Structure 1
Amino acid sequence: MAAVYNSKFGDTVEGARAAHFQQLVLEELRVSASYRKAYKAKVLSTTRLRGFDDASYTKLHEYLYLLKASNPDSIADLETETDEDGNVRFKYLFLSFSASIIGFRRLRHVIVVDGTHLSGKFRGCLLTAARQDANFQVFPLAYAVVDSENEASWTWFFRKIEIFLLDGKYLTIISDRYLSIYAAKKQIYPNAHHGACIVHLARNVVEKFKSKGLGKLVTDSRMKWCVGKFHQLYETIRTTNPQCGQYLEKIGLAHWSNAYFQGQRYNLMTSNACEQLNKALKKGRSSPIVELL
């Protein structure tokens, strides 16, 4: 069945799901196969094409060596840990190409950070840092493969970025309001400005206070540069829902509003740069780690 799957679907990521393949085998070959067999056939087909996920980790040292040899001045760091049985296991991986590092020096110093789940055998998370160039196109800066989005992994990621992007008031970091990012940023980039993604903030307001109207008011007030115009809308929010006003004030007006933001965000109001990058990498997120890289 794996051979049949290979012949029918060249791309195992975009190919049919097990249930669809099960129906296809019945219609074309007149063979009744269980869902489990159809699923195992897809897994076997994927393994033949890409190799085993476990084996991919053993190739990381060689791959990163060759990557840095062909891309001088790139930063690629692999961190491992030893378990109770003395086995060396993968922990974190960081990658930033020299072209991205050099190119970023010509851009405004605003970076967007975000994380997305990996869907391969060992799961994990892919952390990304990006921004927009002068043509409003996504400019990737750095990647990391970690166990999950926690304070330790985000701190490690920021520490690697700090090698070529130093802390300072000239720098702005934009993210969603994930607590681990806040804790890591405070440790590694205490002087950099930090802005909240307005899309995530508006969604949180809608979810917390069950009002799409409040979410729109938050978005509209966020975009006002003039303090007077901002307060007109902000007072409407406080009048409409005093609890929402207290919630936004507790977050800090300087953290989410243009009128009070102390740094420079330029046109970056959301974390869409990383969201688009993660979407572009969707097919690779289920791949063995070397293929993902």
Structure 2
Amino acid sequence: MEQARGNEEDNYRFLSTYLHLLKSTNPGTLTAMHNTVDKKGNALFKYLFFAFGACIAGYQYLRKVIVIDGTAMKWKYKGCLIATSGQDENMQIFPLAFGVVDGENEGGWVWFFENLKKICLRRVYPFAQHWACSVHLFRNVKHNFHCEGLATVVSKAARAYTVGDFRYWWREIENRGPACAMYLTEIGLPHWTHSHFPGDCYNIMSSNISGSLNAAMQTTVDYLIVSMVEFIRAMLMR
């Protein structure tokens, strides 16, 4: 495998050179890399962000909902591949930006969002609203609260368009699973219900868009970091 794909450490050493070449041949592309320094003064890779110029240019034509999801990488040093995507007016998936972090933790997310803000959230970021994925919520309720039909009722409450319809399903939740009602209250109604969401989520209520994008990139988690970025570039170019 090393003869075919190269050495993993050498891949990280070549990464900054590759990113320079990537930007010079793809106008408008943005990249960022964050390193730490060990006790011996050696630079250690920490985070990566990249967004191709064509993706950045297409953001203005999308619904203003950004879907973000991460998938675990299988390299020697592990990590998490982050994919952000949107949806155009024809309801097609449109990739926006990608990143590599050490895990789905606060430090990695904050660094990634700071870079994402440079391309597509420059004006609306201070007013952006956060929405939890309704599919993940359904699965969490089904797994943690063992009550027949409760997860389905939660889904109906999440998708209710009016406050009146929501209250009908909310009473069902309280009757069937008081502990579940407390759990959902702690999340905050604006974060998972259509009727209480202060922004416009269009028809996007789950992270399935990014899930589909991750499925298309499934083989990349086996690649070394430069090969992975190149695979994504080639896939989007096709």
Q: Is TM more than 0.5 here?
A: yes
1:85 aligns with 2:47: no
Identity %, equivalent residues: 41
**Residue from 192, 210, 218 that aligns with 1:256:** 192
Q: Equivalents in 2 of 1:140, 1:232: separation in Å?
A: 38
Larger of the two Rg values belongs to structure: 1
Secondary structure, counterpart of 2:67 in structure 1: strand
> Corresponding residue for 1:96?
51
Secondary structure, counterpart of 1:195 in structure 2: coil
Count of matched residue positions in the alignment of Structure 1 and Structure 2 = 229
> Corresponding residue for 1:292?
228
1:207 aligns with 2:143: yes
Q: Equivalents in 2 of 1:204, 1:156: separation in Å?
A: 27
Aligned residues of 1:93 and 1:145 also touching (Cα < 8 A): yes
1:47 aligns with 2:7: no
For 2:167, give the aligned amino acid.
H
RMSD across aligned C-alpha pairs, in angstroms?
1.4
Aligned residues of 1:205 and 1:211 also touching (Cα < 8 A): no
CA shift, 1:212, in A, is 4.8
> Corresponding residue for 1:131?
86
For 1:291, give the aligned amino acid.
S
> Corresponding residue for 1:197?
133
Matches within 5 A, 1:176-255: 189-255=125-191
1:277 aligns with 2:232: no
Q: Equivalents in 2 of 1:103, 1:63: separation in Å?
A: 24
Q: Equivalents in 2 of 1:245, 1:153: separation in Å?
A: 31
CA shift, 1:48, in A, is 2.1
> Corresponding residue for 1:105?
60
Q: Equivalents in 1 of 2:161, 2:122: separation in Å?
A: 26
For 1:148, give the aligned amino acid.
G
CA shift, 1:202, in A, is 1.2
CA deviation vs aligned residue, 1:106-156 (integer Å, no higher than 9, x gap): 111110111111001211111121112223222111111111111111000
Q: Equivalents in 2 of 1:212, 1:199: separation in Å?
A: 17
4+ residue segments displaced more than 3 Å: none
For 1:194, give the aligned amino acid.
H
Q: Equivalents in 1 of 2:54, 2:167: separation in Å?
A: 43
> Corresponding residue for 1:142?
97
Aligned residues of 1:92 and 1:145 also touching (Cα < 8 A): yes
Q: Equivalents in 1 of 2:129, 2:180: separation in Å?
A: 24
Secondary structure, counterpart of 2:131 in structure 1: strand
Matches within 5 A, 1:14-53: 46-53=1-8
- Structure 2: gaps (5+ residues): 230-238
